[in-house]
Structure 1
Amino acid sequence: MQTIPAQTEQPLSAESTSHPRGLYLLFATEMWERFSYYGMRAVLVLFLTKAMMMDKAFASKFYGGYTSLVYLTPLIGGFISDRYWGNRRSILTGGLLMALGQFTLFFSASNYGPESTHALSHWLLYLGLGVMIVGNGFFKPNISSMVGSLYSPADKRKDAAYTIFYMGINLGSFIGNTITSLIGDTGNPADFRWAFLACGIAMLLGTVVFNWGKDKYLRTPEGVQVGETPAISGGIMGVYALLPVLLAIILGILWLDSAKFPTIAPLLGVAVLGITYMIFSDKSLSGADVKGIMVIFIVSFFVVFFWAAFEQAPASLTFFADEQMNRTIFGFTLPASIFQNLNAIFVVVGAPLMAMVWTALGRRGAEPPSPLKMAMGLAFLAAGYLVMCFGVHNLQPGVKVSMFFLVALYFLHSVGELCLSPIGLSLVNKLAPVKFASLLMAVWFLANAAANYLAGYMSSLYPDPKSTAPAPVLLGFHITNLYDFFMVFVVSAAVAAGILFLISGKLAKMMDARNYPAPVPQV
């Protein structure tokens, strides 16, 4: 590739129709990171149940604890980035840590015993996941917030930019999921190690790509470098010294929550209260800033309902695909984990179409406000589980369900995701005051942390037909079969969609007008 000197980059005006090259650098970096994360996640619960010999309920809660911490640590990483490191240093450090974590999982999977009694494998499992949790805390909020930094505040291309960026997420997910499913989910538990090795290599590659292009392409429309270390930044090296302490704390929380008593749920509550006080106690915030931040908190609450249901894909829906679905096509039995790829395929195909729709509606002044788009996303989510209810209603023992129903679910969920997730990322970037940019992006991921923890708990309620234990109970409702299980998500998502739809107009009015300027008449 031809190297273009940084000084030849021309500032882009708000009216430009092309996107800055820095967007595609972040696209590539995030693509490889998502290869790593989603590739590993696709086989994680199968590795836990088939190699580590955990039962489904424990594996679901363990998975939920891990993924919730993945989204909780951006609170710490966002704060450190804003105050000490800047986006670039945080992304590079986080990327290297996540690669190290994947390689540690490779060694864990390489040392497990036939009866899964090898203590070293279990300790390496915890260590590898802990290192990835810490690394993700520095990587995730910073790369997402950098996307918006490439555009001026009045630039209406931001929703389209985040949708393109989101396509990179799902392209990486598709590549990673495909590779890890084919080389890891083979029926032989020893092969899971190759999935983790591939994920480690992908994460290392993404970090190298970012380091190569960060100085050339990550600039504002005026040509100013973005994401550098803050001008007043003491204690940079001290943060590095604290990383082992942070890792030890994360490992302790993960172990306590999975083996002793619930630890993460109270921690999430403390985080919500702490972050709320930290932001709203700042006297320098204007009235418009406060209203914008309140919108972020309100929509983040509804996001919990979306992701708690959506994140059944690598847990209960994978159990369903493995045990209750006919996976044979043209004489070949597909790995259960590969069905998670359907989401990535639909999003990669649909993302540019959705970006075109939002852009076209924006030019006509008819684009729905972000909260209404997100309500639409919840409605599509409910519809997906409703389709599954039709598929499993009155299902007889020993009868397997057609894969059509799971394909339809993933299609509807993908449409809902495109209405909610990239729009939510863009909304946070638009409404967050500059001084709290990374921290408020971390608030968005805090909602994901709560949702993933809830997702693990919900997956533990999956009705295992082979179990002789009493039927799981949720708020007095006995979940005796798959129809009952999927109907829980239909009701929760539909109610959340209805409430958000009713208040979306009020939320739109609360948004800061300077972030939603009136369209400029075209001559």
Structure 2
Amino acid sequence: MSATTLKPHQKELFGHPVGLYVLFFTEMWERFSYYGMRAILVIYMIAEASHEDGPGLGWTNLEAYQLYGWYVMLVYVISIPGGILADKVLGQRKTVMLGAVILVLGHGTLAIESDWAFFVGLTLIIIGVGCLKPNISTMVGGLYKKGDIRRDKGFSIFYIGINLGSLLATSIIGVVVAEWGWHAGFGLAGFAMLFGLAVYIYGQKYIEHVGNKPTAEENSNDVSIVKLFSKIFKSPIQLVIFIVLLALSIYAGFTFEGVDHWGYGALFIFLSFVVGLLMMIYKSLESNIMKDRFLVLLLSFLLVIVFWGAFEQAGGLMSVYTETKTDRMLFGYLIPTPMFQGLNAGFIILLAVWVANIWAKRKLKNKEASSLFKMATGTIIMGLGFVFMIFAVREYDANGSSGMQWLVLAYLFHTIGELSSSPVSLSFVTKLAPIKYASLMMGLYFAATGLGGKVAGILGEKSVSFGEYTIFSGIVIFTVVFGLLVILLLKPLKRLTHGAEDNERIMHNDETEGFELADPDINN
């Protein structure tokens, strides 16, 4: 077929479908809007009316950390119904469009100087990200036929767009806030999302063949969560466990001290249903091999919660520390706080190939390079980054301020840890999840990531009572001990996977230049 007769969705640019670049720029601007808003969210909440960047909400640190934890958790948890909406009703392409529109409205609402606009804007952003995030990456995979060796490189290109958007946002948003105020920063995030929506609308002809509405036959083959969970009423032991957990959750949640006790009540009830669902999945598995792999998969979710519970301090406790206790003067210029969050994206762009090649070379030498080992090692490396925050706190206690070098080193270690752990975690889910529950386990992976965000908020809250030194030290100790424990248990855990990764091989030459990613956007 000649080039002149190719349909738009069949056209290629630099060896990849044009649709990849449509999704690249859509996601780049969406990540610009998300990380731009995230970079100033907590410091806006704690800013007083007399703040140099304009009036903030004047909340206490405790209140800001509470909202931040709920926000990060919900952004990921709402991805579950966002994925279901796409899988069952609209298809990924239309659900991404819906999410982009809602995000434009959400960021635009945040630009309005009013308390109601703040809460409505955040709610819309949570819903918008929930619709867009889990579906746009799926569409990237859909651009390539099964077995197409370009798929991993396509995801690598897509991953660059994610981090480029984050880097641009955190580099620019602080300057805008310093010059024109908080709401100008929120408004800039809205304009960025509007650009992303425009790109997506323009590029529809290049992606018309992916992410379409599922057929009735495809829907009929999916596992019904309701039907699966309903089987618990025919399983006495599991039913008793579920009822006890539910009763304890209701009691604990609604007697919880604090203004957000209702939130914890809902969270504990949700977790009780999740536990009940997991018990029924385990019981329904037909072989011991599948059951063993399922148990290892649940352990990997614990690693995910621990990792993101520590990593998400970037937008919470570390952001506040940067704003209030760090000497940010460089050559007579005050570096805006949001720029420091951009270090993560910058380091990813610089180091991603290097880290991927280190792991590839280990595997070529037949050294330990399993997914669990990478996840545990990444968690340890990321946790060790908080050692530099301990040094920062000690310097602040001695001199009244701490140097920027501690933040740079902390973000460097966090990024190396992320590149070791995050890219392989979702791939691990695809290897171990039972085929008929694959989509459901993906949703639970998002939920685990969201719970990590909630843990991050809780740790921020505790810093108000115990201080940053205690929290940073606790993160170092827990992440290192937990990661080492997984490594110590690696042999029996690998036996329980029953060779799920034994058939993998390392590609040579230019094929090792890509990232080892199944879905690079999953945590970014």
Q: TM-score range by the shorter chain?
A: 0.7 to 0.9
Q: Which residue of 2 aligns with 1:382?
A: 383
Structure 1 length-normalised TM:
0.77
The 5 Å alignment of 1:205-354 reads 205-213=195-203, 215-217=205-207, 225-232=209-216, 259-264=259-264, 265-270=267-272, 272-273=274-275, 275-276=277-278, 279-280=281-282, 292-354=293-355
| Equivalence map 1:98-109=2 (5 Å) | 98-107=103-112
Structure 1 residue 389 displacement after superposition = 1.8
Aligned mate of 2:159, from 166, 179, 182: 166
Distance 2:10 2:149 in 1: 25
Within-5 A mapping of 1:33-182: 33-50=30-47, 51-107=56-112, 111=113, 121-150=114-143, 162-182=155-175
Residue 37 and residue 492 in structure 1: after superposition, are their counterparts in 2 closer, same or farther (change >3 A)?
Answer: same
Q: 1:192 aligns with which of 175, 182, 188?
A: 182
Alignment partners' CA distance in 2, 1:57 and 1:307: 20
Q: RCO greater where, 1 or 2, for CA within 8 Å and sep 6 or more? A: 1
Is the contact between residue 386 and residue 487 of structure 1 (CA under 8 Å) also seen in structure 2?
A: yes
- Superposed displacement of residue 260, structure 1: 4.3
Q: Deviations over 1:332-388 (max 9, x none)?
A: 111122211111110121123334445566667668121111111111112111122
Provide the residue aligned with 2:373 in structure 1.
Answer: 372
Distance 1:503 1:156, change over 3 A: farther
Maintained 8 Å contact 1:148/1:158: yes
Distance 1:68 1:294 in 2: 24
SS of the counterpart of 1:368? coil
Q: CA deviation at 1:198?
A: 1.4
Cα separation, partners in 2 of 1:41 and 1:7, compared to 1, 3 Å: closer
Letter paired with 1:71: Y
User: RMSD value over aligned CA atoms?
Assistant: 3.5
**CA displacement 1:22-80 (0-9 Å, x = unmatched):** 54443332221111111100000111111111111111111111111111111212222
Cα distance change of structure 1 residues 423 and 521 upon mapping to structure 2, 3 Å threshold: closer
Mapped pair 1:485 → 2:482: no
Q: Which has a greater percent of helix? A: 2
- AA matched with 1:227: G
Contact kept, 8 Å, 1:166 with 1:351, in 2: the verdict is no
CA distance in 2, matches of 1:7, 1:148: 14
Question: Which is worse superposed, 497-506 or 153-162?
Answer: 153-162
Query: Residues 371 and 504 of structure 1 are in contact (CA less than 8 Å); yes or no, is this contact kept in structure 2?
Result: yes
Q: Offset of 1:313 from its aligned partner?
A: 1.1
Q: Which amino acid aligns with 1:490?
A: V
**Do 1:346 and 1:411's aligned partners in 2 also have CA atoms closer than 8 Å?**
yes
CA distance 1:359–1:288, shift in 2 (3 Å): same
Q: Check whether the contact 2:106–2:124 (CA below 8 A) recurs between aligned residues.
A: yes
Q: Are the equivalent residues in 2 in contact too, given 1:154–1:516 (CA < 8 A)?
A: no
Q: Which residue of 1 aligns with 2:457?
A: 456
Q: 1:88 to 1:456 in 2, by over 3 A?
A: same
On the 8 A contact 1:145/1:437 being kept in 2, the answer is no
The CA deviation string for residues 108-163 of structure 1, in whole angstroms up to 9 with x for no partner, is xxx3xxxxxxxxx2222111111111122221122233444455666787666555
Is the contact made by 2:10 and 2:17 (CA closer than 8 Å) also made in structure 1? no
Structure 1 residues 79 and 286: CA distance shift in structure 2, 3 A: farther
Residue aligning to 1:117? none
Query: Match for residue 403 of structure 2?
Result: 402
Alpha-carbon shift at residue 164 of structure 1 (Å): 4.5
Q: How many residues align?
A: 459
CA apart distance, 1:453: 1.0
Contact 2:18 2:206 in 1 (8 A): no
User: Which structure 2 segments of 5+ residues have no match?
Assistant: 48-55, 220-252, 509-524
TM-score by length of 2: 0.77
Structure 1 contact 154–515 (Cα < 8 Å) conserved: no
Does structure 1 retain, via aligned residues, the 8 Å contact 2:11–2:18? Answer: no
* Counterpart-to-counterpart distance in 1, 2:156 and 2:368: 15
Structure 1 residue 165: deviation in Å?
3.5
Displacement of 1:330 after TM fit?
0.4
Structure 1 runs not aligned, ≥5 long: 11-16, 112-120, 219-224, 236-252, 464-471, 473-478
> Is the 8 Å Cα contact of residues 174 and 339 (structure 2) preserved in structure 1?
yes
